[in-house]
Structure 1
Amino acid sequence: MKTQDKINFDRIAAAIKFIKENFKQQPSLEEIATYVNLSPFHFQRLFSDWAGTSPKRFLQFVSINYAKKLLKQDQATLFETAMETGLSGTSRLHDLFVNIEGMTPGEYKNGGENLNINYNFAESPFGHIIVASTAVGICHLAFYKEESTALKTLQSHFPNACYKHITDLAHQEALFIFNHDWSKLNQIKLHLRGTDFQLKVWETLLKIPMGQLSSYGQIAQQLQNQKASRAVGTAIGSNPVAFLIPCHRVIQASGALGGYHWGLDRKTAIIAWEASKMYVGDD
């Protein structure tokens, strides 16, 4: 490691430690930059390059992780959580949760209470699938090896929801797409929960045509943020609806497949299967 790189690495490591130890004081960009002896502008750029996110965003992640732990305690009110996290009030706590978690702190605390979710297990050309829906649309679709583990993963997202093991029309329409008309994909309704950035990434993925591939950098460019490739990769890795939101169509600029939450062998098979559909048609 070059000398300057080592200096920069140590500065960012010190800044991360400072943020983690002082997040309850909600330090400003200027305060953190001063701590590591840099100008705010230089520190902002350096931190984003090394950490893959901005200092403000990292502070928000640290803060919300702490707030989530507090909210899991039944006796913790929203006001108490906001104060203990170093926020000025419940409105800032609300904005933080909506921005990062895609839900209000109250919705996080009740864990999906009063939400009815239908789920079922099915087979696809690429393995076992669990599919789940609300009254709005498909909220979860994932490949799995064991039913019990797949169900626990679904329930971890909405721990207090009411679950019913049943196939509904939304499931049938979603699974129909594996074997029939791809032109009606936009008619499948989705019920997605995520940050504004995640939703924008997932929406962009939906625009990648079947049989075609895109890179993380190209997705970032479409979002008009060419430096956001890492953040794009993180958002893609958080995709809650496999296949329908085609994160498998995103690869590295070098041509390497990159990662895939449900396994690279499966990603390879899906890409090849879609390519064959484009050439021979859907018989």
Structure 2
Amino acid sequence: MIDQQHINYQRIEKAIAYIKDNFKDQPSLDEIAAAVHLSPFHFQRLFTEWAGVSPKKFIQYISLEYAKGLLKNRGSTLLDTAYETGLSGTSRLHDLFVNIEGMTPGEFKNGGEGLVINYCFAESPFGKMIVASTSKGVCHMFFEDDEAQALVDLEKRFPNACYHQITDRFQQDALFIFQNDWKQLNQIKLHLAGTPFQVKVWESLLKIPLGGLNTYGDIAKSIEQPKAARAVGTAIGSNPVAFLIPCHRVIQGSGNIGGYMWGKTRKSAIIGWEAAQREQ
């Protein structure tokens, strides 16, 4: 089941890459299906199961016009409550609160010395992930298909910590975000190593609701440093918790998707998937 889910995402990822490269030509169902070596019928069913909408509708969600339209109406999509982001599933919106606690200067400086970090590997709609947590909350959540490489990346961030491959409640709560019934979610707690500026930027990302997009300049203004868009971009690029801290919801002022630590195709996939979930 898990392996099949991963295979299906790889097919969808390939389809999205094709759509991204050709969306201005509005490719037909047959053309997209042929690009991923599936029959139109099979591809339509697989894509709709994954995204909740047809491939044709999905093209609209990841087009530049959709992105620019969201930016023009961004005032109506932002939530005023700090740390709050709207999640919509098969039912109405549910509120999810994510609480960030920064690590102490000593923990940050000493590479996690004295920290005990639990970690596990899990599947998501967007590929395999590694999720790690301390006694205070999730400290690391990366997309990575190669488990050995995922562990190397985690250990680079906290070279002096003690590691255990154990799934704990913090990790489970974080992974519930990918489920359809978000009523199971408790408050998600994060324990992050970052400068005060980075933490402030990451907190601001949590105000962007599901299906909404902001620019780097918007984030700079939201933290009352309107001239710091470049520094904001660097902080966003250092986000240690994929998806939960939604750096994928930040795009360029031109409406272009922009960069993403875990790949532009995955970023487009997440943006489109969230837009589809919002309309269900």
TM-score by length of 1: 0.60
Shift of 1:238: 0.2
Report whether the alignment pairs 1:221 with 2:221. Answer: yes
The whole-number CA distance in structure 2 between the counterparts of 1:219 and 1:186 is 27
Q: What secondary structure does 2:119 align onto?
A: strand
The whole-number CA distance in structure 2 between the counterparts of 1:139 and 1:268 is 25
Shift of 1:109: 6.0
Report whether the alignment pairs 1:112 with 2:150. Answer: no
Report whether the alignment pairs 1:136 with 2:145. Answer: no
Contact 1:102/1:196, CA 8 A, preserved across alignment: no
Q: What secondary structure does 1:191 align onto?
A: strand
Superposition map of 1:88-167 within 5 A: 104=105, 106-107=106-107, 110-167=110-167
Superposition map of 1:40-55 within 5 A: none
Superposition map of 1:112-261 within 5 A: 112-182=112-182, 187-261=187-261
The whole-number CA distance in structure 1 between the counterparts of 2:277 and 2:109 is 45
The whole-number CA distance in structure 2 between the counterparts of 1:244 and 1:235 is 15
> CA, structure 1 residues 244+184, in 2 after alignment: closer, same or farther (shift >3 Å)?
farther
Contact 1:103/1:194, CA 8 A, preserved across alignment: no
Higher percent of residues as strand: 2
Contact 2:103/2:191, CA 8 A, preserved across alignment: no
Unpaired runs of 5+ in structure 1? 1-100
The whole-number CA distance in structure 2 between the counterparts of 1:229 and 1:182 is 33
Q: Identity across aligned pairs (percent)?
A: 64
Contact 1:217/1:229, CA 8 A, preserved across alignment: yes
The whole-number CA distance in structure 2 between the counterparts of 1:177 and 1:138 is 13
Contact 1:136/1:189, CA 8 A, preserved across alignment: yes
Shift of 1:102: 6.6
**How many residues are matched?**
179
Structure 2: which amino acid aligns with 1:250? V
Contact 1:216/1:229, CA 8 A, preserved across alignment: yes
Q: What secondary structure does 2:257 align onto?
A: coil
**1:12: which partner in 2?**
none
The whole-number CA distance in structure 2 between the counterparts of 1:151 and 1:103 is 23
Q: What secondary structure does 2:192 align onto?
A: coil
Deviations 1:212-242 (A, max 9, x none): 1011010111111111110110000000000
Q: What secondary structure does 2:189 align onto?
A: coil
Shift of 1:103: 5.0
The whole-number CA distance in structure 1 between the counterparts of 2:188 and 2:207 is 14
The whole-number CA distance in structure 1 between the counterparts of 2:132 and 2:163 is 9
**2:52: which partner in 1?**
none
Higher relative contact order (Cα pairs below 8 Å, separated by 6+ residues): 2
The whole-number CA distance in structure 2 between the counterparts of 1:226 and 1:240 is 24
The whole-number CA distance in structure 1 between the counterparts of 2:161 and 2:233 is 29
The whole-number CA distance in structure 2 between the counterparts of 1:111 and 1:149 is 19
Structure 1: which amino acid aligns with 2:244? L
Q: What secondary structure does 2:243 align onto?
A: coil
Shift of 1:107: 4.0
Shift of 1:145: 2.5
The whole-number CA distance in structure 1 between the counterparts of 2:156 and 2:235 is 19
Deviations 1:192-225 (A, max 9, x none): 1111110110000001011110110101111111
TM-score by length of 2: 0.61
Deviations 1:26-53 (A, max 9, x none): xxxxxxxxxxxxxxxxxxxxxxxxxxxx
Structure 1: which amino acid aligns with 2:148? S
